Structure formats: C-alpha cells, structure tokens
Structure 1
Amino acid sequence: MISKTSRFVYTVKQLNRELRDLLETGYRSIWVEGEISGLAAPASGHLYFSLKDKNSILRCAFFRNRQNQNNASPMEGMKVLLNGQISYYEPRGDLQFIVSYMEQAGEGALRRAFEILKQKLAAEGLFEQQHKSEIPTHPGSIGIVTSDSGAALHDILVTLKRRFPLANVVLYPTFVQGAKAPKSIVAAIDLAEKRNEVDTIILARGGGSMEDLRAFNDEGVARKVFECSIPIVCGVGHEVDFTICDFVADQRAPTPTAAAEFVTPDIRQIKQEFLLRHNRLYENTLKYIRGFQQSVDYFTSRLVRPKQKLANYLTEHRYLYKQLTFYIHRYIELINSSHKKYLSLIAAHSPASRIQYLEQQLRANRHALSHSVGIQISNKQHALYQNHGKIKLMSPQHTLHRGYAIVQNRKNKVITDPQHTKLGESLRIKVSKGRISVLVDEI
C-alpha cells in the first residue's frame, strides 16, 4: 500500500487547469470532419451543435462573428469540414470545439484544394501568357486525349469531320474519372509526345460535378499539360466549369465541341477562300499574258534585220574613227604647245639665274645692314653720353660737392623738419668728404 505522504494529489481545480492548458495549446487550428446533430440557434445568433461520426460525438460552438466571415448555412444532418480549436471550460470541466471556419464536406474540400493549388501554380508563373504555345491554324494531324467511350469523343469527332475532314485524327484513350485517371492522362500525353505524330492535342471530357472533374485539378496532370511540347487545347466540362488544366493549357475552350472548333478551320470558309483566290489568279494570269503579248508585238515591230544593223554599226564606226583621229591630232598639238611653253618657263627660272639674282640681293642687303648698324651704334653712344651727364648732375654726391649736407638721426632717418628732432639728440651730418656727429642744443 502506497503511503499518503508519497503521493501527489491534484485538486479538481489544478487538474482542470492543467487539462485546459494542454488541450488549448496542443490543439490550435485543427481540422475535423463529421455530421451536424442537435443544432441549436438561440436569440444571441450563436450556433451550438454536436459533430458526430459512427463512433463518437464532439460538442461545438459557432459564434456569430465567425458565421459572418464564412457565409456558412449549417443544417441538421449536414456533413461538414470544420477548422478551429479545442476549448476546455475549467469551472465545469466541459470540452467543446470552437469553430472558426465551416464548409460542406466533399465538394467544399475539393473547392478549397482547387484554390490552394491554383494559387500555388499561379505564383510559380504556370498561368503566364508568355509560356503559351501558338495553336496551329491548319493542323495536319490532331490528337485527342479523352475516354474512348464518352460523349465528349463523339462530339469532337462529329465537329472535326464537319469542319475539317482533311486532318488526321489520333485518339489517345484514357480514364477521365476516378483514382486511375490522373496517371492515365499523364501517360496518354507522354505517349503523344513520344510518337510526335500530331500538331496539336485536345484534352477533353464532358461536364460533371467537381468530384467528377477531380483528375483535371490534379497537380501532376496540370504540370504535364504545362510541360508538354505539343500545344494543348483544354475542353473540359461545360462553359461554367473551370479546372486547373484550363489555366495551364495553351488554350482553354468552354466545351469539348468548342475545343474541336478552335483547333480547326471551317472547310466551307476554306473553299470560299480557295475559289476567290482561284478567280483572282485566273484574272491576273490573263492580264499578265495580255501584257506579255503586247510586249512581244512591240519588240517585233522594232526588230531590225542583222545585215541592216551591221551596216548601221559600220557607218557609225567610220564616223567615230574620224572623230577620234581628229581629236588625237588636236590633243598632240596642244601637248607640243604646252611643252614649248614650259621649256621657256624653265629656262627663265633656271637655278643659275636664281642664284645670281640672290647673290646680288645678298650683297645689297649686307651693305645696307652694315650702314644701318653703324648709324644705330653712333646714335646709341651719343644718347649714352647725354644720359650719363644728366645722371651725374642729378646724383646726391654732386649736390654734396656743391656745399649741401644730409642730416640723419641714429636710426638713419633723414631730418627734413626741425620738429623731427629734440634738444640733446645726437645727429649725424653727411657732407661731400665725410660725416660729422653733433648734439642739438637749440631748435
């Protein structure tokens, strides 16, 4: 028996608090699926119900503010997919699931998966127009990836035969519904690429629920359609149906029949265009033949006999020969005249005559330069003597010789005013033949 002192005993409050902490932190934002039972809608606007399956039941609360964000309309017995968190009410020990999002199970789950994959592939750029291949306007061979027993194949074949029976049609049968469909579709597209025998591919099936079209919302199928080297036109479902393959294909058609119409030209329009071009070609050909015949007639009328043409050439040759002989003699005379003229010019401008003339010029220039230099030297000497006399007369020493003197203080400043000195100051007097120091005793 375990003693009471060795045991840890919870109080009810302690245990409920720990359970609340464990549940509310460990089960945040979880998904749960089940059937609504016991739905209650009090005046507060909140919804209370139980979520059950074959073996268990879970109490749930869906508050009014969350309902407005979800646009949900829950009903008794509806199978739903819920997102939310566990709430544990500590005072009473009650556990319930607080709903933050509700959608109908099955179709709703598929719709949510569709939107998630759509956003993912869009973010990777798989829907961008720059990745789309151009669909051939006049395909020689058309591939069809669909069920070999579905109504879609019948509609496509009827449309192709009506619009463009010249095209060869190749069927790549595949499952279009069920668990095997995604791999089967990928294998069919792979086979078409490997054989490389068609110009374009129609990927098609008839309409149905979102569950029926699930294979065409598969990520693997979508990526295969995007990566396929052969242009693909996707015609899945009815006009209101959209699948992921519609976004990644090179072209989306609202129905299988519309897909067949998109990949083919109308044979009736081709025939009309052919007849129009045939008529234009016939008219242009006749016009060309008429123009060519007119040219033949014109040149035939201008055609001259070879003997007559030779005679004309001979006459023209003689005339040209005379003209050429005349101009050659004239040219020779001009050359001789120019030659005599240049000889006389050369004689007049011979190097000996030029040297003799330059020697005379040199002697004359030398005499003139010698005479000019002599005059310049004489003038400069005379000006020098005059300036020397002027400088001598204006020099301070000449002034001192005349009996004048210069009085300076001890700082060698010249005294020009008696007020610039004082009694007893020592002054120096500069005369012609020396200096005299004196003291000022009267001013």
Structure 2
Amino acid sequence: MLGGEVIGVAALTQQIKELLESHPEFQFVRVRGEVTNARTYASGHWYFNLREGEATLRCVLFRGTAQWLPYLPNDGDEVIATGSISVYERDGVYQLYVEFLEPLGDGALRLQLEQLKQKLEREGLFDPSRKRALPPLPRCIAVVTSPHGAVWHDIQIVLRRRYPYVHLILAPARVQGDGAVESLIAALEAVQLDGRAEVVIIARGGGSLEDLWCFNDERLARAVFACRIPVVSAVGHQTDWTICDFVADHRAPTPSAAAELVTPHDRLALLSWLAGLDNRLHDLMQQRFERAREQVGHLAQRLNRAAPRHRVDNFRQRLDQSAQRLDRALAQRLVAERQRLQALVRELELLSPYGPLARGYLLAEDAASGQLVRSIDELAIGQRLRLHFNDGRADTVVEALQREGTGGGTHG
C-alpha cells in the first residue's frame, strides 16, 4: 500500500487483522490480568476484559470452548488467559480469543475446592441418607478445636448456660497451617478411642480461604466420613462453607450455634428425662430391696435346717428387725433422692433463659449472630433483633435507644 493512497476503513481494518493473524507470536499468547465486566449471553458466549493498571484487553470466550472449561471468568479474579489475538472488524478493535482460562491465587484454590467437592459428591460422601441424627440428650460431648482460641471458650459458655449437666471433652488440635490436617484427624481418632462422647463438634473461627484450607483437605473429609459418632461441623462464619461442612452429619454456621444445636431444644423433654431417671432410681432400689428380702429368706431356711428352734426364732426376730430398718432406710433414701431430683429440676428451671418468658418477660438476641442482648450498649440504630416470647418469636429493628433515667433518647 502506497503512503499517499486513500484506503477505506474496512480495507484498513482487514489488513490489520491479516497482519496480526500472520504473526505466529500473536496466535498463541498467555496473558495475565484481572477480570472485569464479565458477562454471558443467551448464546453461551462469554465477554470480559483483562485489566492491568490502566491497560485493558477485550476477551471473547465462545460457548464451544467454555462448556469444556473447569473455570469460567468472575469479576475480580486474577487469571491467565491463553488464546490468539485478532481484530473484531465491526468495532475495529483487537481482542483475545480465549481457548483456555486458569485462575490464580484465591481463584485457583476455589477451582481446586470445586473439583474436590464434585469428586467426593460422586463418591457419596455428601449423601443426605447416610447422615445421622443427633442424640436428643447427650451425656458427653467432644469438641475438636484449638485450646487457645475463642471458639473453645464460646462453646463452654453456651453449654454451661443451656445444658450444664453434660460432660464436655476437649480434643485439642491445630486448626491452621502446617500439620493442621494431621492434628485434626488425630483428634477425631482420639475421641473415638476414648468412647465416651455421643457427638463431636469440629470447630474453628472465621478466616480467609487460605486460613480454612485444612478443612477442605480430602484426608480430613474421609476421616469425618468414617467417624463412628455423629459429627457437627462449625468452621468459620455463616457464609463460609468447607468440604468438612458437606461431609459432616450436621453443619452449624458458627461454633456457638453448634453448641446450641447439640443441646436439648425442649425444656419439657429435659424435665421428662430427669423424671425418667427418678423412676429408674426407684426401680433399681426396689430391685435391690427384693433381692435382699430373698437373701434373708434363704438364710432363714438354712438356719431352720442347721440350728435349734429357739436360735432360729431369735435369728428370725433379728432378721425382721433388720428388714424393718432396711424398709425405713430405703424409704428415707427414696425421699432424699426424690427431693434432690426436685431441687435439680427447680435449679434447671431457674437457669433456663426461657423461664421468665411465662411471666411476661422476653429475650432479645441479635438476628445476625444469635447472641443474647443484655445491655443497651450492645445495640445500634438499625440493628435487627429477634424477640423470644413465651409462645413464639418476632423479628424487629432498633429505631431508637433510650437509657433509664436519661430523660431522652437517640433516634434514627
């Protein structure tokens, strides 16, 4: 083309396109950048930009290629796009025609996580039909977590408030970094060897995807799947999901919620359980009394056969007196045990946060975290609350705050 020759836009664009497509170095390029403006149309084609600083490269990912890729673009992801450079003649812009797309950093971890999730799901590790119910009144609960974090403390507080009679076992483990997976698996095995726990909570506080990565390990997933007692997973915050959550029998959004999940929800059921213990104690004492009476009868028969009549009479009288004392002692013991059980029931009713509700009081908890609100200092305008009444609950929003004795309020 001569320098002074006039050429049309279409012809110039075509020549630029042919120039780019004729150079091999532009037909296989790998470009790194941040995905922006990712979108797909009904046709199944994807369009997005790769950005680095002020520079932007338009990219096209056709449906025929996209359907075979394990990863598709998301805004904000840093990726490496492989493909060829050419010109889109209608707009007169060059763009990258993507043949393969791979995420970097957090995106790579998410891709790895999704692939493992699909693998384990195909093997049936997430099957709802194999998930076990929690014991309604567990006598012993094990917790696999770090002994140094707030998680262990929070779980103890919840259980002490809701279910103070349970026996709690800590199975210490590392929950982040090198060796965490092995430590968690060893703690689970220790709980099973101990044999006392009826349910186990595996818990950790919130963190980044990298912080929680040990709970996405395939080895831990299979250990949870093989655990002989029900497992409750409480890893991270409510929005965090790990492979451990999918494999466990139950998933709780937070460690505190896990402690609530494994405790009785119905106070009447707990009282019924205590009454059952009272009946069982009575039956056991009655059985012991009957066995003692039978033993006395056998001894009397032996004495009748082996001793003179007057000695037998003396022994019989002494045995009758002993039986009377045993009857009195048994009656006194039964009364004392019944009084002790009644005292425990009254103590439980006093400890229950729902007892005052029947008298017209109510409980307020933060709707997001589930934590009880005990002071106006814990409230903020616009905060969502859940109010618990004796016969139900209601959600509300804080519109004004007023301290007692201030004579005024804060309005929003």
Relative to the length of structure 2, the TM-score reads 0.48
Bigger radius of gyration among the two: 1
More helix by share: 1
